[in-house]
Amino acid sequence: MMWDFERCVSVFKQEIGLLQKLSLVQDSVHKAVMEREWTDFEWKIAEINQLGAEFAVMDGERAGIFAALKEKFFTQEWLANDSEPSFYSLAAKLPPDECRELTGLFRELKMSTLKLKTQNDIFTNYLKEIKTITAAWLEAIIPARGGKLYTGKGRQASAELHSMVLNQRV
């Protein structure tokens, strides 16, 4: 792959757009969980998976573009230092306008990724905490079950608490 500034800008913008879409869908999943609204839940998870797959493709293309940029500006100095050049050190070798645009987009991409990761970590921690609280609550109100859960037909169910529905008769 040859270095192509316009293609690099396009890939960065597409990745940023995908991250923004992922953030919106992730927010709607979080809202659905908080409000116990399960009607479109499967569709939202499928959409997150689809956007994640699209992002993986774009990320692979970005890696190829970075490799082409590295090849264009490769120097023996990097071999002597035994270090990989950073994106910023490579971008600094571009004309000033291109450098400014690419580093701005790259910074926005990194910030969007960090924001999405942080949102995901917070949501995952919330779900883990709810799982722990629910397990402790069940153990407190039904101590005789000894950590075992049963299905509606009386068979022993997994104690993992991946999902659980409580009716009003508990």
CA atoms within 13 A on the CB side of 116: 22
Given a cut of 90, whether residue 70 has pLDDT beyond it is no
Supply the angle between the helices 41-72 and 5-34 in degrees, to the nearest 10: 160
Q: What is the pLDDT of residue 8?
A: 93
Q: What is the pLDDT of residue 53?
A: 93
Closest CA to 8 of 96, 93, 69: 69
Mean pLDDT, rounded, for 7-27? 94
Q: What is the pLDDT of residue 12?
A: 95
SS3 (DSSP) at 94: coil
Whole-model pTM: value is: 0.73
What is the gyration radius of the CA atoms in the chain, in angstroms? 24
Domains and CATH numbers, the chain: 5-142 (1.20.58)
pLDDT 10s digits, 47-62: 999 999 999 999 999 9
pLDDT digits over 74-127, tens only? 766 666 665 777 889 889 989 999 999 999 999 999 999 999 999 889 988 988
- The string of pLDDT tens digits covering residues 35-47 is 887 787 788 889 9
Per-state percent for the chain, helix, strand, coil, to nearest 5 = 70, 0, 25
CB 31 within 8 A of CB 52: no
Residue whose token pair is 């609550």? 137
Contacts of residue 43, defined as CB under 8 A and 6 or more positions apart, other chains included, come to none
Assess whether pLDDT exceeds 60 at residue 166.
Answer: no
